[in-house]
Structure 1
Amino acid sequence: MINCIIVDDEPLAASLLENHISKIDDLKLTGKAENAMQAYKILQNQSVDLMFLDIQMPHLNGIDFLKSLPQKPKTIFTTAYRDFAIEGFELEAVDYLLKPITFERFFKAVERLLRNTVDHREDFILIKTEGMHRKLFLSEIVYFESQGNDIKIVLTNQESCISKSKITDLEKTLSGKGFVRVHRSFIVNIAFVTAFTNNELIVNKYQIPVGRSYKQEFDAFTAAVSKNKLL
């Protein structure tokens, strides 16, 4: 869980950020401040991993406030002005978001942070399912199945979920991470392959067909297995 705070003197902007934060399971809003002084008190009294920091605020702007901190939390600047972008990145900000901040842009910034956080070293993907963004560790995914415009994701606990995605995009994302596409509709986690023939895999007791056009990938997989590299 990443503890975060919002520092913004605009109630509507702060409310929008709070709404965005509520949609991501790994984020926990632990405080809100209207100015740098209030934010400083929060930082003194609790552990903060991520700060959503407005720049144009009364008394002390966000740039100067961040510069003044001896220990700086990860920071995403939120502002209506482009002029401070270079200075913001010089302070090693995670990102620089221009208001009004859409959830899509907010999500990209947070995803970048999650992928680079020490506490999230195990590979995972973020999917949108049932109106929420859900984190799935690759180690718990048995296989992906394309179903029209959707992707069915089958997990080790026999649970499954549906996400709007393209299997070709998933194939690129999963490249080099222990998954192989064996059919136009299936990508499997090679760690769960227990048996195979020339045209079928047994993946955690599920029967998965092998497509002719994916024979090269399948042959590479079986060759690796025969050398005891995978199984």
Structure 2
Amino acid sequence: MINCIIVEDEPLAVTLLENHIAKFETALKVVGKAANAMEAYHLIQTKNVDLMFLDIQMPHLNGIDFLKSLHHKPKTIFTTAYRDFAIEGFELEAVDYLLKPITFDRFFKAIERVLRNITLHSENDFIMIKTDGMHRKVSLSEIIYFESQGNDIKILLINNESLISKSKITELESLLSTKGFIRIHRSFMINSHYITAFNSNEVLLGVHHIPVGRSYKNEFEAFMKLISKNSINL
């Protein structure tokens, strides 16, 4: 079951999306609705949100800028009456971009894409990775870091083996943020158990040097303070 939120300020558009979603009752569940970015932010902080239907033209803060502001981005399908933002939407790794009025046929194709892209899922201390045409079970303790490479994810393991999977780093972030993994860069999410040294610009995972992105510095520093609070600092 995929938990969805609808971020939309037009009541008729909300009703149409709800009707489309209801046809996927075994796969999709609406866990909240928001009329603006602030309400949507509250939902994301308080609900387990897997998929966001996000309008672009909203009061105060548009959907593009709202999604840019989020570090932990749920899968997002943009809904809008305007074609102008399509390129920017896909640069933000949106799953799809639906033009209003949204027909069920077009909605169906978007949801099919969502379901097809869910190739990674958490299962206790393992994830299932679709790579080389097979699903491979990998222990989280084997993974040093994930690296985004265009439409693929590179997974580096402790034996220096690299796996390549068709997925997005935002999907991994929502799955593994409670498992000791933290995103420190637009392209990197690391296993904090393998951190051997760090400063505000760089993290060492043994011999691997990973940059800390500017927009991730505060979150990373807060994370390190939290996990280091019981350690002795000299």
TM-score, structure 2 normalization: 0.51
- The one-letter code sitting in structure 2 at the alignment partner of 1:34 is A
- The one-letter code sitting in structure 2 at the alignment partner of 1:20 is H
Partner of 1:70: 71
What SS does the aligned partner of 2:15 have?
helix
Cα displacement (A) at 1:119: 4.2
Q: How does 1:1-231 map to 2 (within 5 A)?
A: 1-24=1-24, 25-117=26-118, 118-119=120-121
- The one-letter code sitting in structure 2 at the alignment partner of 1:33 is A
CA–CA separation in structure 1 for the residues paired with 2:129 and 2:109: 19
- The one-letter code sitting in structure 2 at the alignment partner of 1:16 is L
What SS does the aligned partner of 2:73 have?
coil
CA–CA separation in structure 2 for the residues paired with 1:68 and 1:39: 12
RMSD: 1.8
- The one-letter code sitting in structure 2 at the alignment partner of 1:19 is N
- Structure 2: 5+ residue stretches without partners: 123-127, 131-234
What SS does the aligned partner of 1:37 have?
helix
CA–CA separation in structure 1 for the residues paired with 2:68 and 2:48: 18
Deviation sequence 1:26-50 (CA, Å, 0-9, x none): 0000000000000000001011000
CA–CA separation in structure 2 for the residues paired with 1:93 and 1:74: 7
Cα displacement (A) at 1:90: 0.3
- The one-letter code sitting in structure 1 at the alignment partner of 2:59 is P
Cα displacement (A) at 1:122: 11
Partner of 1:207: none
CA–CA separation in structure 2 for the residues paired with 1:6 and 1:39: 8
- The one-letter code sitting in structure 2 at the alignment partner of 1:5 is I
TM-score, structure 1 normalization: 0.51
**Which 4+ residue blocks in structure 1 deviate beyond 6 angstroms?**
120-123
What SS does the aligned partner of 1:87 have?
helix
- Structure 1: 5+ residue stretches without partners: 124-231
- The one-letter code sitting in structure 2 at the alignment partner of 1:99 is K
CA–CA separation in structure 1 for the residues paired with 2:90 and 2:129: 27
CA–CA separation in structure 2 for the residues paired with 1:85 and 1:122: 29
Deviation sequence 1:100-130 (CA, Å, 0-9, x none): 000110010010110111249799xxxxxxx
Structure 2 CA distance for partners of 1:110 and 1:122, relative to 1, 3 Å: farther
CA–CA separation in structure 1 for the residues paired with 2:88 and 2:62: 13
